[in-house]
Amino acid sequence: MSFSSSSNDFSANNNYELMDVDAIQKALGRSRASVYRYANTDPQGLLNLPYDPIRLNPELRQSDREPLLFHPTEVSRFARDVLKMKQVTIQVQEPMQNETNRLLREILQELKAINQGIRNEN
């Protein structure tokens, strides 16, 4: 089974999406229940447990109502080190462009232009 992740797939600005349970289930070829069993979560509802090298560690959450999300490199580490999958590759895709991202990119470009203008004056 090929589970896609190489560090070459990550962009320099680390602009990629976190993986939800469904994405991990599809990538690992495991059941949804298995993914939940692998996850470093507490049945009593404690959030943000300490890192556990033999569990699949989710990203930090503010509430137990937030979905479990996992960093692609954590999923890759878990598949390689714990599940002993030989070939581990995660294909990371940039998130879909939405209006907020477009506006933020425009603001960033404008700030860069202002910064460049200030540097040129000095």
Q: What is the pLDDT of residue 114?
A: 93
Q: What is the pLDDT of residue 9?
A: 35
Q: What is the pTM of this model?
A: 0.61
User: How is residue 88 written in tokens?
Assistant: 């581990």
Return d(Cα 21, Cα 59) in angstroms, integer: 12
Per-residue pLDDT of 37-62, as tens digits, reads 999 998 887 889 999 999 999 999 99
User: How is residue 34 written in tokens?
Assistant: 């298995």
pLDDT at residue 110 greater than cutoff 90 = yes
User: Which sequence spans correspond to the domains of the chain?
Assistant: 3-95
Return d(Cα 50, Cα 112) in angstroms, integer: 39
CA 114 to chain CA centroid, nearest Å: 32
Q: What is the pLDDT of residue 14?
A: 44
